[in-house]
Structure 1
Amino acid sequence: MSVTETNSSLNSPQVATPAETTPNLPASSTGQTGATSKKVSTKKHPLISGEAHTARSPQTNIGVASTSGLSERLAQYMSPGDLKLVKEAYRFSDEMHLGQVRKSGEPYISHPIAVAEICADWKLDVQAIMAALLHDVMEDQDVKKEELIERFGAPVATLVDGLSKLEKIEFQSQIEAQAENFRKMLLAMARDVRVILVKLADRLHNMRTLGVMLPEKKRRISRETMDVYVPIAHRLGLNNIYRELQDLAFSHLYPMRYRTLSKAVKAARGNRREVVNKILESVKETLKEAGLQAEVYGREKTLYGIYRKMHDKHLSFSQVLDVYGFRVVVENFRESYYALGSLHALYKPMPGKFKDYIAIPKTNGYQSLHTTLIGPYGTPVEFQIRTQDMHRVAESGVAAHWLYKNEEGSLTDLQQRTHAWLQSLLDIQKQTGDSAEFLEHVKVDLFPDSVYVFTPKSKIIALPRGATALDFAYNIHTDIGDQAIATRINHEPVPLRSELKNGDIVEIVTSPNSRPTPNWLSYVRTGKARSAIRHYLRTINLNESTELGKQLLAQALVAVSLNPELPSSLIDKLLNESTAKTMDEIYTDIGIGKRMAALVARHILDLVEDDSSSIPFQQYGDKHHYKPDPVIIYGSEGLSVQLAPCCMPIPGDGIVGQLKRDQGLVVHTDDCEHAKRLHIKEPDRWIDVTWGDEVNRSFDTRIAVTVTNERGALARIAAEIGESEANISHVNMEDGDANDMTHIHFTIQVEDRAHLARIMRNIKHLNGVNRIARERG
């Protein structure tokens, strides 16, 4: 993903050199004078005079940018006072971008004009249109926010600032810069949704004009569009932009597949025209007989929609039967269900293919009835039935607020849901350690597929598919999530990790003594839950993580032949090139797995090699002669060191350590099959660890005992475990392969491997015990 590079690559300003400029261009065919300097924008523009205008660049070999389309759009809904403000913004933007051209050779001002036109189609207010025209002046021309405040007011300046990238700030990596820019944009959007509307308009125009770019840049920009901007457009209900961005990104990511599929769809139009017309006529006649006035029209699936269906279900194009669907738009809510009944009487419905998004709208406000019917010749045909108001929201999403303003000034359900989601972004920001983590949480919540569940008071809660009862608890309130101990789904007690299904009634049981554990991160799905748990863990074990990080960095420095005792001059250099303010922050990030100790150590080595004369501290020499000491585990480190639940290591076992993001160090046995699979995926996150000499606590481990099914067997084994100075924390029984055998699974607490061996020997000698083994996995 490449958030920071998109505009700079597509719209990178190319300033004409003096040799390329012409002192006096002839007047254009419209009577306008060619631009010779920045003063050209004091001439009358169409936004000033109402006449057609052509913006020119000093270069003689480039195209022109017309503002007539924007003028016509704005004149439809703006007052003269607002138009005057837009004129000023246009004049300033024209001056700032004078002499710049896009990769296509067009004057650069053509891009802000096009973005403003898209925003004007939504009838966005004057401040948003001004921001659209000015959205690149801070980034490309180094115009300060203070100057924009003075000229155009704080609201416009804030919008432009939210749309500008952070290119003047030094970041450790390109990924960090991308994540921070994305966070800035989303937080600005959370405070004012117009930011993302202008940004989506900007991205849409860039995608429409992406053809001039190199193939690699096309793919990178298209991948970012598909990963970030398409989900945002969907989440805000902007379905027109959502579909167009998908198809544009698809065409650049997979050009051959796009062209092949496009040809196939064109050919299918002719072949299926007869079927489509027959269905249209039948439906219109049926609705007319039912006394319903409705608009009925066919719609074609997008190329990307067809491609996804072929890809996900492993179908050929000829097997995708529902390339065409039909939309029925009626007058009011009741008529939607009348129309549904009429259609079901006309064609047989397919079982399991009906969805009522009117009673339970999607999270982005979308409302329609969906039904799939068996049409003529046995072809499945999808119908969407909705009212006029639902249709407007379905196509325009939150932009419908400007297109069709509510005269009463009250918030619609969609606006309320959008406001709640935007507020959740601010909540996540408060609990998030850095921009990469914030981006991870938000992308999770942009996952479009949802599950709808109910509170005990019948309030509908929408969560991403795969969400658990613990996600539900955090969705209600962070305190409820932190204190959750159990849940009841449909009045039945189930674990907190239980996955929710549509229609579940969920109740959370809390206790003031309950607190989040690192294991919770493995089964929460939403960004809000994940950020809240990480925030708690980061706060509660800060000192432990700092000490662990210090130990890990010292180990990594020895591995690259550097002295772990860093001089203050080197620490100052390291902090200047990092987002951290103190070394303790760096140690903490390493301790919780957010930074890799090896990468920090290599960065320090680079600093030493770049300016070795100013670093008066000892290097060890040939690093290959040194092997770093393993990290010592005592079992009393707290939450910064976790013993893996898959293999439950105990003192005496051979162990290895995995640095897991925001869970610190996770210790596995060296023969753990799960650890071996993880090591293949992320080999850089594994370090050497060893048990300390003085370990004075008990450790959980599992044993499985197979016994003859007779009275008192469990009691005898439990008594023997107690006499062996061990504690039983969990017991589970199941029938064996033979009727007279039973398997008993114990989780017991032991001191070390020798203690466990003694317990197992004692149990094995009991009457009725056939087999005993330590359990793994």
Structure 2
Amino acid sequence: MNATETSSSLSKPAEPDTAPPPSAATPQSSTKKNAATSTEANVKAPTPAPVVGVASTTALSARLAEYMSPGDLKLIKEAYRFSDEKHLGQVRKSGEPYISHPIAVAEICAEWKLDVQAIMAALLHDVMEDQDVKKEELIERFGAPVATLVDGLSKLEKIEFQSQIEAQAENFRKMLLAMARDVRVILVKLADRLHNMRTLGVMRSEKKRRISRETMDVYVPIAHRLGLNNIYRELQDLAFSHLYPMRYRTLSKAVKAARGNRREVVSKILEAVKNSLKEAGLNAEVYGREKTLYGIYRKMQDKHLSFSQVLDIYGFRIVVENFRESYYALGTLHALYKPMPGKFKDYIAIPKTNGYQSLHTTLIGPYGTPVEFQIRTQEMHRVAESGVAAHWLYKDAEGSLTDLQQRTHAWLQSLLDIQKQTGDSAEFLEHVKIDLFPDSVYVFTPKSKIIALPRGATALDFAYNIHTDIGNQAIATRINHEPVPLRSELKNGDIIEIITSPGSRPTPNWLTYVRTGKARSAIRHYLRTINLNESTELGKQLLAQALVAVNLNPELPGTLVDKLLNESTAKEMDEIYTDIGIGKRMATLVARHILDLVEDDSPFPFQQFGDKQNYKREPVIIYGSEGLSVQLAPCCMPIPGDNIIGQLKRDQGLVVHTDDCEHAKRMHFKEPDRWIDVTWGEELNRSFDTRIIVTVNNERGALARIAAGIGESEANISHVNMEDGDANDMTNIHFTIQVEDRGHLAKIMRSIKHLSGVIRVVRV
């Protein structure tokens, strides 16, 4: 899969490049061939391809020779020759021979000391996509493992997708699932993306922004999740420079100026720290490090600071020999400068989810300047920079896995779990993005096992993290032995216990407060499965309405149904109805697609309605007993008699609001196509929740009188909450009550108003 959309035939311009590194060049023989055959291949290069000679692959060869056997090097040379031959005549946007790109990717992989199969895949990663080489040919020449890696790196064939977003999401899904089976797929892909980002300068501004946004949204978080901090930081800064070039240049100038202004402070701190550690008998490496430009930009954005207010642009890293010396060095630093309260983090005792280990502390340095220090061992430093590439995800001779390997393996396995429960590629990518957020919170099971979850995760996320069945059956939780709601947000160090019941089941409301992709996909999967029939019927009704709106008869003939199914991923019409019912497809878009098929076939293949202006579009009828496929919005709590409108929400079906709901008005402005006309049915055999506020004098027995009045009006109280009284000795009591309709509510409010001590009654 090539991030900058390499050509799928030799007649299209190839990938961008500017000035390739020495290792990213190509042998003289290949260059001459490319020049000779470019006319035949119908490639018009912007500039002649540079001739750089046989020394072009020297850097890659030298790096591979450090750890590869002669037999492995022979296999890699064979893969190089094959790739060079297949890309013959293909050039990048800059005019460079295309083979320079696979060589550069292979060299980045060689820096991580990836194995022979991964290096071969790096050299071959574009031959399937660009040169139409079949997987079978790769299996025959290089073996199944290499062919599988290359296949995982290749984009899907030119399938007809509903949108560019869907096509992109499906490609990501393919890559991430291949990565779940073999992490080398993503390592090679990250190397590919890194070289593309380094050479993005020749692309159009619009394309640079699109590729940079994709990098920031997906590849940067993946690099962080796998602990590849060098790649993570470089990709971040490269994407930032293309997304916001003016901001990047401005910050770059400001940082250069600050270097000169703060050089004296930095030198003074560096010297003092080195002397203190030496006096303590510690043999340590001490060096300064600078915050990345994107890191500075994010801090300014998140905390609303000016550049001059970002004081920790510079920090220091201390690398010691062993685990004990890390804490000894920490004590030495705290004796030298005063630590800032709340600014110490021990990632050695509790490592980050990507395996990162260090002690972090912020001290008040000379002139009152806050200075951050990171303390770690040589091994921790190696893992911090190379992450999962430093510890291969393969079992050693004894079959054991390191902690980092186990954590990464568990995350990769969770991708497969999400895939099983996810409806489509866009939803899958949405769930994965959620789990890629770098900030984590660390909590404990009752047996003291540490669980890492994204910051903002709730007790329900914890339940689903343990097992899907525990999440589905959760009814309550205890945090630090205290009962709290399932929606409670978790904090570092919490001890979580989940209480389950076989009769408990997920509700759509759970989606509003889960944070992890695993929990969200499991809830949506359950809701889709349990409400299939209801969603199908709703979808059928919505599509019929949309067809009528474009002057088509809702009774579709079989030939048209067959045509529609052939052009979609659905196997039968019920699938399309269900997708519409749960908000996954838009009924209006499906109707327009059907109209296009009609026009392609013949002007009038079946009976149409007359003038659309003369046809009254019937609203969807709501009875309140449709189950989970129709929900009454909790923001405005509509009841029969209210004027209502309906919103089609993805995977939640139809959500009904009152027509004066402020939240609904804002959503309608953002997505007008997702709103439909709805109306109440005639027979409604259930009660509906609504909220009222009763303002009363603070006197004895007021709550009891109001509760009795509500009961006498044949209504039920489902929730009550009292505010503190104000200076005028009045208080507000909030009730959620169950009523039949607006008439019933009006009767209740009148009866309450006549009670002693009641000042006013309003519906929320």
Deviations 1:383-418 (A, max 9, x none): 110001100000000000259997765311111111
Corresponding residue for 2:665?
Answer: 676
CA distance in 1, matches of 2:440, 2:137: 44
Corresponding residue for 1:6?
Answer: 3
Corresponding residue for 2:82?
Answer: 92
Residue pair 1:10, 1:103 contacting (<8 A) in 2 also? no
Deviations 1:243-287 (A, max 9, x none): 111111111112222223223323333333332222222111111
How far residue 659 of structure 1 moved from its aligned partner, in angstroms, is 0.8
Corresponding residue for 2:104?
Answer: 114
Corresponding residue for 2:195?
Answer: 205
Distance 1:59 1:663, change over 3 A: closer
Residue pair 2:34, 2:90 contacting (<8 A) in 1 also? no
Distance 1:719 1:507, change over 3 A: same
Tell me whether 136-145 or 616-625 shows the greater mean CA deviation.
Answer: 616-625
Corresponding residue for 1:685?
Answer: 674
3-state DSSP of counterpart to 1:704:
strand
How far residue 570 of structure 1 moved from its aligned partner, in angstroms, is 1.6
Does residue 450 of structure 1 match 2:458? Answer: no
Corresponding residue for 1:61?
Answer: 48
3-state DSSP of counterpart to 1:487:
strand
Residue pair 1:132, 1:198 contacting (<8 A) in 2 also? yes
Distance 1:29 1:483, change over 3 A: closer
CA distance in 2, matches of 1:260, 1:721: 65
2:186 maps to amino acid: I
Corresponding residue for 1:773?
Answer: 762
Corresponding residue for 1:520?
Answer: 510
1:366 maps to amino acid: Y
Corresponding residue for 1:383?
Answer: 373
CA distance in 2, matches of 1:624, 1:331: 82
Corresponding residue for 2:549?
Answer: 559
Residue pair 2:46, 2:95 contacting (<8 A) in 1 also? no
Task: List alignment gaps of at least 5 residues for structure 1.
Answer: 18-27, 41-56
Residue pair 1:287, 1:339 contacting (<8 A) in 2 also? yes
Corresponding residue for 2:744?
Answer: 755
1:145 maps to amino acid: K
CA distance in 2, matches of 1:171, 1:30: 40
Does residue 629 of structure 1 match 2:626? Answer: no
Does residue 356 of structure 1 match 2:361? Answer: no
CA distance in 1, matches of 2:259, 2:271: 17
CA distance in 1, matches of 2:246, 2:751: 70
3-state DSSP of counterpart to 2:551:
coil
Identical counterparts, % of pairs: 88
Does residue 182 of structure 1 match 2:167? Answer: no
Corresponding residue for 1:585?
Answer: 575
Does residue 469 of structure 1 match 2:451? Answer: no
Distance 1:760 1:58, change over 3 A: closer
Corresponding residue for 2:685?
Answer: 696
Corresponding residue for 1:126?
Answer: 116
Corresponding residue for 2:716?
Answer: 727
Distance 1:713 1:374, change over 3 A: closer
Give runs of aligned pairs for residues 528-607 of structure 1, distance below 5 A: 528-607=518-597
3-state DSSP of counterpart to 1:524:
coil
3-state DSSP of counterpart to 2:386:
helix
CA distance in 1, matches of 2:129, 2:463: 42
3-state DSSP of counterpart to 2:344:
strand
Corresponding residue for 2:643?
Answer: 654
Corresponding residue for 1:370?
Answer: 360
CA distance in 2, matches of 1:487, 1:186: 33
CA distance in 2, matches of 1:39, 1:736: 89
3-state DSSP of counterpart to 2:349:
coil
CA distance in 2, matches of 1:596, 1:495: 35
CA distance in 1, matches of 2:346, 2:444: 16
How far residue 735 of structure 1 moved from its aligned partner, in angstroms, is 4.5
Residue pair 1:640, 1:665 contacting (<8 A) in 2 also? yes
Does residue 503 of structure 1 match 2:500? Answer: no
Deviations 1:278-337 (A, max 9, x none): 222211111111111111111122222222223333333333222221110001111000
1:8 maps to amino acid: E
Does residue 104 of structure 1 match 2:101? Answer: no
CA distance in 2, matches of 1:392, 1:60: 41
Deviations 1:86-124 (A, max 9, x none): 122112111111111111111111111111111111110
How far residue 363 of structure 1 moved from its aligned partner, in angstroms, is 1.1
CA distance in 1, matches of 2:524, 2:672: 24
Residue pair 2:470, 2:500 contacting (<8 A) in 1 also? yes
CA distance in 2, matches of 1:403, 1:487: 35
Distance 1:59 1:439, change over 3 A: closer
Corresponding residue for 2:468?
Answer: 478
CA distance in 1, matches of 2:125, 2:735: 64
Residue pair 1:171, 1:579 contacting (<8 A) in 2 also? no
Residue pair 1:11, 1:102 contacting (<8 A) in 2 also? no
How far residue 703 of structure 1 moved from its aligned partner, in angstroms, is 2.8
How far residue 716 of structure 1 moved from its aligned partner, in angstroms, is 4.1
CA distance in 2, matches of 1:146, 1:627: 58
TM-score by length of 1: 0.91
**Aligned to 2:602, which of 606, 609, 612?**
612
2:50 maps to amino acid: G
How far residue 772 of structure 1 moved from its aligned partner, in angstroms, is 2.6
Deviations 1:435-476 (A, max 9, x none): 010011000111111111122222211111111111111111
Residue pair 2:26, 2:100 contacting (<8 A) in 1 also? no
1:477 maps to amino acid: H
Corresponding residue for 1:323?
Answer: 313
CA distance in 2, matches of 1:606, 1:630: 25
Deviations 1:621-644 (A, max 9, x none): 443443421000011111100111
How far residue 561 of structure 1 moved from its aligned partner, in angstroms, is 1.6
Distance 1:30 1:83, change over 3 A: closer
Task: List alignment gaps of at least 5 residues for structure 2.
Answer: 15-24, 38-43
Does residue 226 of structure 1 match 2:216? Answer: yes
CA distance in 2, matches of 1:201, 1:542: 43
3-state DSSP of counterpart to 2:391:
helix
CA distance in 2, matches of 1:436, 1:748: 39
2:442 maps to amino acid: Y
CA distance in 2, matches of 1:428, 1:705: 46
3-state DSSP of counterpart to 1:501:
coil
Residue pair 1:10, 1:213 contacting (<8 A) in 2 also? no
Residue pair 2:6, 2:13 contacting (<8 A) in 1 also? no
Give runs of aligned pairs for residues 728-743 of structure 1, distance below 5 A: 728-737=717-726, 741=730, 743=732
Count of residue correspondences: 745
Corresponding residue for 2:233?
Answer: 243
1:521 maps to amino acid: L
3-state DSSP of counterpart to 1:493:
strand
Cα-Cα RMSD? 2.6
CA distance in 2, matches of 1:312, 1:175: 28
Give runs of aligned pairs for residues 408-423 of structure 1, distance below 5 A: 410-423=400-413
How far residue 650 of structure 1 moved from its aligned partner, in angstroms, is 1.5
How far residue 696 of structure 1 moved from its aligned partner, in angstroms, is 1.6
CA distance in 2, matches of 1:282, 1:145: 60
Corresponding residue for 1:49?
Answer: none
Residue pair 1:38, 1:95 contacting (<8 A) in 2 also? no
Corresponding residue for 1:335?
Answer: 325
Corresponding residue for 1:82?
Answer: 72
Tell me whether 524-533 or 243-252 shows the greater mean CA deviation.
Answer: 243-252
Residue pair 1:13, 1:108 contacting (<8 A) in 2 also? no
Distance 1:760 1:415, change over 3 A: same
Residue pair 1:347, 1:375 contacting (<8 A) in 2 also? yes
Distance 1:104 1:430, change over 3 A: same
